[in-house]
Amino acid sequence: MAEVRGGGESGDARPQLDEDLSEVSDFLKAIGRQIKILRELAGLTQKEFAKEVGYTESLIGAVEQGKRTPQRELLEASERVLDARGLLIATASDIERAKAKARVRHPEWFRNYAGLEAEALELHDWSAYLAPGLLQTEDYARAVFRMRQPLLTEETVETRVAARMARQEILTRWPRAVFSWVIDESVLFRRLGGPAVHRAQLERFLEIGNTRGMTLQIMPVDRAENAGMDGSFKLFTPKGRPQTGYLEVQMNGRLITDAEEVRLLNARYGTLRAQAHSTQESLSLIEKMLGER
């Protein structure tokens, strides 16, 4: 088994280990300056521009400062709103190549797991305490990182959020991997980030649960038996490799490659799915909670 210091879903407890943006930072800052200049020439504030392109003001600020990698969708929206005449969208391919070359997405300690996750053919996740990283909204992820102890700087928080959002690209690829999540019902009641962030996260769960090829189940808190009381874990099958497990406890993340340990986690996950609400029951529960908010 391999050990990965830090932990991934709940945030890095060692803030000195930051993502390596050094190789592409000047490139990203240059693109951010271009967007800022075009925005100002158009007479738009960050808040007004964010509303026009459909993104948060904080994200636009991070992109303009070169702290966040602009996705193709943002570049396309910026082209339309700012009438950039192809200047911004022309950088999309260069950004993708730069990201691949510099490995900007994840901190050093998390890259081993993140690399395997990115090429997974199957991914199954039991989450006992908070929303799975792949399903977190941007604001929910930001709330998770902001509550880390010791506190992270705002720049580090935004870097971590960007990495988490980039991981979610795996959900949009085709052919789609096989995904399933079992989430403890207590997660639905935990209002991390406040009411608005909490509601948006519940809506995100509904969106995922209604997506073809993705299965989301809720484990009721009133079950007399729960096979996941030892904590959260993941099972994933990378392309061309055997199924692997992943565990996190406080500041330690651990890849499980021993066949017997993986078999036991697999059996445990199967029991969790049997004990949890069905998919439809789970979605109905979330819809009911949204209706009561």
Q: Count, in order, helices (H) and strands (E) of the chain.
A: 12, 7
With contact defined as beta carbons under 8 Å apart, do 112 and 2 qualify?
yes
Residues with Cβ within 8 Å of 196's Cβ and at least 6 positions away in sequence, in order, are 139
Top-level class of domain 2-11+106-292: alpha beta
Taking alpha carbons only, the member of 3, 1, 265, 4 closest to residue 126 is 265
> At residue 229, does pLDDT exceed 90?
yes
DSSP state letter for 89: G
- For the four alpha carbons of 56, 136, 156 and 23, in that order, the dihedral sign comes to negative
| Whole-number pLDDT of residue 281 | 98
- What angle in degrees, to the nearest 10, is found between the helix axes of 154-167 and 138-146? 140
pLDDT tens digits for range 9-60: 655 433 333 344 445 667 788 888 999 999 999 999 999 999 999 888 888 9
pLDDT at 103: 44
State the sign of the Cα–Cα–Cα–Cα dihedral 115, 140, 80, 174: positive
pLDDT at position 160 is: 87
Q: Give the domain ranges of the chain.
A: 2-11+106-292, 25-102
Mean pLDDT calculated for residue range 1-6: 42
Least confident range from 27-31, 92-96, 171-175, 272-276: namely: 92-96
pTM: 0.67
Residue 103 Cα distances to 25, 31, 32, 75, 290, angstroms: 12, 18, 19, 21, 38
- Answer yes or no: is pLDDT of 77 > 80: yes
265: burial class by Cβ within 10 Å (0-12, 13-18, 19+)? buried
2-11+106-292 and 25-102: same fold?
no
Residue range 164-211, pLDDT digits in tens:
998 898 998 888 899 999 999 999 999 999 999 999 999 999 999 999
Could you tell me what percent of the chain has a pLDDT over 70? Answer: 85
214 CB neighbour count, 10 Å cutoff: 18
Cα 245 from chain centroid (whole Å):
18
Other CB atoms within 10 A of residue 149 CB: 7
Report the relative pairing of strands 252-256 and 244-249 from DSSP bridges: antiparallel
Average pLDDT over all residues of the chain: 86
Instruction: Specify the pLDDT at position 30.
Output: 87
- At the fourth CATH level, the homologous superfamily of domain 25-102 is lambda repressor-like DNA-binding domains (1.10.260.40)
- 259, pLDDT greater than 50: yes
